[in-house]
Amino acid sequence: MESRENLPPVPLTIEGASVLHQMFRIKWPAWRALPAEHRAELLNAASGTLAKMENAGSALFALLGHKGDLMMVHFRPDFDALGEVQHCVSRIALADYLEQTTSYLSVVELGLYESTVKVYGSLAEKGVAPHSDEWNAAIEETLTRQRAAMRPRLYPEMPAHKYICFYPMDRRRGEQKNWYQLPMNERQRQMQEHGEVGRRYAGTVKQIITGSIGFDDWEWGVDLFAEDPLVFKRLIYEMRFDEVSAVYALFGSFYVGRRVKSGELPQILSI
């Protein structure tokens, strides 16, 4: 029998849609200096492009606070499609009057702690060596089955909710508290407890978790969508008391915005 102590520490994950967040600041002095007729032309063209992008999995949000004026969120099948949409945004004539302040690149990710513990344990009991051909075949069978079952969550439609809250986060890797050195079963327990809180808000908040290890400066991105922005505060505050958040979570900047449909763009840039 294979020793459980020698099992891989890395949980299985399945990945889906590629996601790009783009944050912009409006160059108000240059925008105000344009003749009204030219501004109208630019807005008309931008609104038409945005309408097409909305149908393909993009959304525009008006940000609250000093971190920017606008945020675009794009869900696409892969990085090639994200590259195309990024190029499309840069070609819009209105982009000459927008300064991109930051961005975030990630992919929709679902962690499979429960399945990982089960399949690793089953293979260990059979004496299958990690990373052997038999091991790899069993792991791929598990991943294939999970991808099929979870496809709607892996490739979600852009939620239609009025408000968004986006933030990146890490798991702590300090000298005394290191998430990545916890045993698999302990990480599973904490993540299960963490997920129970989120599930209680399922009717009021749409949550999409993306993985960004190897893609951006943080390890995960979190998008929350809701009709009432106060729900963001309640959900995140309650999660702060989970062990996994209280001990191991590190949070980046929060971006909160209101949905802007393509036809509403002239209102956002009115002077």
3-state secondary structure 185-231: HHHHHHHHHHHHHHHHCCCCCEEEEEECCCCCCCCEEEEEEECCCHH
* Of the candidates 62, 89, 22, the residue with the CA atom closest to the CA atom of residue 266: 62
**Residue 40 C-alpha from the chain's centroid:** 34
Rg over alpha carbons for the chain, rounded to the nearest Å, is 22
Token pair for residue 13? 């994950």
Give the integer Cα–Cα distance in Å for 75 and 85. 10
* Catalytic choice (97, 113, 167, 255): 167
Give the amino acid at 257: G
Torsions phi, psi for 70 (to 5 deg)? -135, 150
Please confirm, yes or no, whether 104 is among the known catalytic residues.
Answer: no
**Residue 2 C-alpha from the chain's centroid:** 37
Residues labelled as active-site residues: 167
